[in-house]
Amino acid sequence: MAEVLTQAAPAPQPLVALTEDEVLFRDNVRQFAEKSIRPKVKEMDEKGVFDHEIIDQFFQLGLMGIEIPEQYGGAGGRFFESILAVEEISRVDPSAGVVVDVQNTLVNNALLHWTTDDQKRRYLPKMSSNTVGAYALSEAGSGSDAFALQTRAELKGSEYVLNGRKMWITNGKEAGVFIMLATVDPSAGYKGVTAFIVEKSFSGFSVGKKEDKLGIRASSTCELIMEDCRVPKENVLGEVGKGYKIAIETLNEGRIGIGAQMVGLARGAWEYATKYAQERKQFGKSIGEFQGIQFQIAQMATEIEAARMMVYNAARMKDAGMNFVKEAAMTKLFASQVAERVASLSLEIYGGYGFTKDYPVEKYYRDAKIGKIYEGTSNMQLQTIAKLVMGGK
């Protein structure tokens, strides 16, 4: 008689497995990025200006409110989809990737988790349909030491009056809504830090200098100036004195987004280099026939795969409600290292041509550098990881 075999439980999905809906979503974003962003990348980089038509298209495609529930006009998706969108767009243009990244992983994220019902009704429909957001924590004197911020918020009647300057604010030029971190009591240290929802139209608010940068040049990075800027009390986000918690928690998610930006960037550079290696001839054959080049292409592909698995796993952990702080820090640290290495090697595969602006790889090389700096420098990620792993987590 044949032995009856007991069936094992279905095997868990591989880390990089996507659902049918996710594959469809990713392919749609990829197609859009190829068709509508790719032709504009060089000019946007040269001019240092982001094309408004692309922002309009982001809104039309639902890419600016991916996790916002449908009842507020959003796409009702998961964090993982935001990550897929950032990766696919950054493959074509990391500047475009960060516009979508900041909107979804920082601004909408903060608004989804910390707003009152009234604030949800006032802000979520805008963020899904026509308003770019920005996240304003850093100042000239406070970067890594973010909670040493000096922007002051004083309660006067029914309003808070904000005074101070923010620096380095992504989307500063395009944004209509700002998540603004200020202190209600400088002597209280981080416990004075409070988050506000500030609109561009509020009196006393203005956008200052736009930085002229090495990379992600099309993404605006601006100073924000508040001179007796009047913010209604109803626009405190979360609780007074709890802004530090909002900043820490949103940036934890944001770091996975930067990981996705860096994986997309690395893939974009790698694809160009791999194609070029098959076309460029030296010594009577394509350079891709030399084992030295093949090994470089293989090494890069391996590193990109490893970084992507870290990004996807951290995003899945977030969607599953698990603690992902360590994984997010590791993801950003590693993906930004991979992006820099891959962009550099891709440029070398192009030889002298790679060093010119006639070919696309030098831009990826310039764009890669930011991954190690914003949303916490690599040293800050290492500090977080060390604290957690040495504490047994």
Instruction: Give strand pairing partners of 265.
Output: none
To ligand FAD, the closest distance from the beta carbon of 143 in angstroms equals: 2
Instruction: Quote the CA–CA distance of 350 and 249 in Å, as a whole number.
Output: 41
Report the nearest approach of ligand FAD to the CB of residue 346 (Å): 22
Would you say 247 and 181 are in contact if contact means Cβ atoms under 8 Å apart? yes
Q: Give contact residues for ligand FAD (rule: CB under 6 A).
A: 102, 135-138, 143-144, 168-170, 213, 221, 370, 373-377, 379-380
CA distances from 303 to 194, 257, 267, 296, 299 (A): 40, 18, 10, 11, 6
Quote the CA–CA distance of 117 and 114 in Å, as a whole number. 10
In angstroms, what is the minimal distance from the CB of 295 to ligand FAD? 32
Please tell me which residue in 67, 253, 327, 375 is annotated as part of the active site: 375
295-306 burial, b for 16+ CB within 10 Å, e for fewer?
ebbeebeebbee
Nearer to ligand FAD, 27 or 46 (CB): 46
Q: Helix/strand/coil (H, E, C) string of 204-257?
A: CEEEEEECCCCCCCCCCEEEEEEEEEEEEHHHEECCCCCHHHHHHHHHHHHHHH
Residues 299 and 217: their CA atoms lie apart, in Å, by: 29
Residues with Cβ within 8 Å of 189's Cβ and at least 6 positions away in sequence, in order, are 147
CB-CB contact of 314 with 331 (8 Å)? yes
Q: How far is the CB of 199 from ligand FAD (least distance, A)?
A: 17
Cβ nearer to ligand FAD, comparing 136 with 269: 136
Distance CA 212, CA 2 (A): 75
Residue number with CB closer to ligand FAD (217 or 316): 217
CB–CB of 169/135 below 8 Å? yes
Cβ proximity to ligand FAD: between 195 and 345 the closer is: 195
Least distance (Å) between residue 355 CB and ligand FAD: 23
Nearer to ligand FAD, 356 or 379 (CB): 379
- Find where tokens 């996807």 sit: 312
H-type alpha helices, 215-360: 243-279, 291-319, 325-349
Measuring CA to CA, which residue among 116, 368, 358 is closest to residue 267? 368
Q: Which residue is nearest to ligand FAD (CB)?
A: 143
CB of 145 to ligand FAD, least distance (A): 6
Choice between 168 and 270, CB closer to ligand FAD: 168
Query: Which tokens belong to 276?
Result: 């070029």
DSSP string, 175-193: -SEEEEEEES-GGGGGGGE
Our CB check for ligand FAD shows the closer of 50 and 312 to be: 50
Active-site residue, 289 included: no
In the numeric block, which tokens belong to residue 356? 């010119």
Instruction: Tell me the C-alpha distance between 235 and 182, whole Å.
Output: 13
- Amino acid identity, position 64: M
Shortest separation between residue 277's beta carbon and ligand FAD, angstroms: 31
State the catalytic residues.
375
